Amino acid sequence: MSAEVDNLVRRLLTRREEFFDKSNVLNSDGRRLLSKIIRMVLSEYPELRKLASKTRKNPTLENVTKLVEEITRVRELKKSHT
């Protein structure tokens, strides 16, 4: 996964007041950023499609965090197999 995705994820999670509402659900700017991240990730890891879809439908901080953790896990698995 590219450094650009890492930067976008870091931005999304560290600037929560900008991208999440008081209920910890993504606002429109956060959803736009999440969609960009998901597009980039799915081109490399299509096996994450189901989790990405779930996160798009219910973009809570918890679901976004689960997606990021899974991206990291899959990335490490693929890296260790090469």
Separation of alpha carbons 71 and 77, rounded Å:
10
Nearest to 8 by CA among 54, 77, 68, 74: 68
Amino acid 81: pLDDT: 78
Tell me the pTM.
Answer: 0.91
Whether 16 and 61 have beta carbons less than 8 Å apart is answered as yes
What pLDDT score was predicted for residue 80? 85
Residues in the chain predicted with pLDDT less than 50, given as ranges, are none
Q: What is the pLDDT of residue 1?
A: 54
C-alpha dist (Å) from residue 71 to 17, 39, 78, 79: 23, 13, 11, 12
